[in-house]
Amino acid sequence: MKIKIVYFDFNFWRVDILRLSLAYGNIAYEYERIPRSNWINFKKNYPFEQLPVMNIDGNEYCHTHSLAIFCSSISNLYDSNLENQLIINQVIDWANEITYRIAHSIREKDEEKSKKLRKVFIQKDLFSWFGFLEQFYRNNSKNAFFTGKLSIADITAWRVIRWFTCGKLDQIPNDFIKDFPNLYEFYNKMGNDKKFTNLKEFKEIMN
């Protein structure tokens, strides 16, 4: 099987969870980065005019959730248990949901309007949506993982927490995750997994 992933020329959770999953499963893949500034010249070449896109043996597929399930399935990071599949899928849906909610402040070109939108996001969504994940993790986690063993759910949650705590999102304090002790402990445990942290993809994200 020949796999190629296409995304923009920056790290983001939507593509990183695919790369991390494949790398964790020792599955080779090619990675193409498209300059964001040139996207208008490329978008019509891809399904739904969106990235990430995955080319598998010459066929192209799209949408983060679908690609995450595929990558985790072939990497043994999904689950055959239907209830565990529901848990995993909900974490990916949570990641999509909180991304949608902060996206308005990211895409706004006017600096003052962007600041106002970010303030609204923090007041309305940041703590409530991380609170939802905190409660979901507390209700379902076993042995520090969402389903009892490392899965794409854990990789996704870790990557989104990293995004929100890396200091690149204006007005969001780097240490806000400490308000969610279960997620804070989970995040640190993921950072202590040597197989995970030794991945080239992990090091790229942390840099």
Asked if residue 171 and residue 95 are part of one domain, the reply reads yes
188, pLDDT greater than 80: yes
Q: What is the pLDDT of residues 143-184, one digit of tens each?
A: 789 999 999 999 999 999 999 999 999 999 999 999 999 999
Q: Is residue 169 helix, strand or coil?
A: coil
207, pLDDT greater than 80: yes
Closest Cα to residue 22, out of 60, 61, 92, 78?
A: 78
Reported as a pLDDT band with limits 50, 70 and 90, residue 37 is: confident
How many CB atoms within 10 Å of residue 97? 13
Asked if residue 171 and residue 142 are part of one domain, the reply reads yes
Asked if residue 153 and residue 118 are part of one domain, the reply reads yes
CATH number at residue 41: 3.40.30.10
Asked if residue 171 and residue 107 are part of one domain, the reply reads yes
| pLDDT at site 80 | 95
Q: Which residues contact 185 (CB under 8 A, 6 or more apart)?
A: 144
Asked if residue 9 and residue 55 are part of one domain, the reply reads yes
Q: Give me the mean pLDDT over the 2-7 stretch.
A: 97
Q: Is residue 151 helix, strand or coil?
A: coil
Asked if residue 165 and residue 90 are part of one domain, the reply reads yes
| pLDDT at site 198 | 97
How many domains does the chain contain in total? 2
Residue bearing tokens 């402990």: 185
Residue bearing tokens 């902060």: 102
Question: What's the pTM value of the predicted model, to 2 decimals?
Answer: 0.96
Asked if residue 161 and residue 124 are part of one domain, the reply reads yes
Asked if residue 200 and residue 119 are part of one domain, the reply reads yes
Asked if residue 129 and residue 100 are part of one domain, the reply reads yes
Q: Is residue 52 helix, strand or coil?
A: coil
Rounded to the nearest integer, the mean pLDDT of the chain is 95
Q: Give me the mean pLDDT over the 130-134 stretch.
A: 98
CB 15 within 8 A of CB 204: no
CATH number at residue 108: 1.20.1050.10
Query: In the beta sheet, which residues pair with residue 54?
Result: 5, 61
Asked if residue 99 and residue 49 are part of one domain, the reply reads no
| pLDDT at site 60 | 94
142, pLDDT greater than 80: no
Domain boundary among 21, 52, 74: 74
Asked if residue 131 and residue 51 are part of one domain, the reply reads no
User: What is the C-alpha to C-alpha distance for residues 121 and 104, in angstroms, rounded to an integer?
Assistant: 9
Domain interval for residue 68:
3-74
Asked if residue 108 and residue 8 are part of one domain, the reply reads no
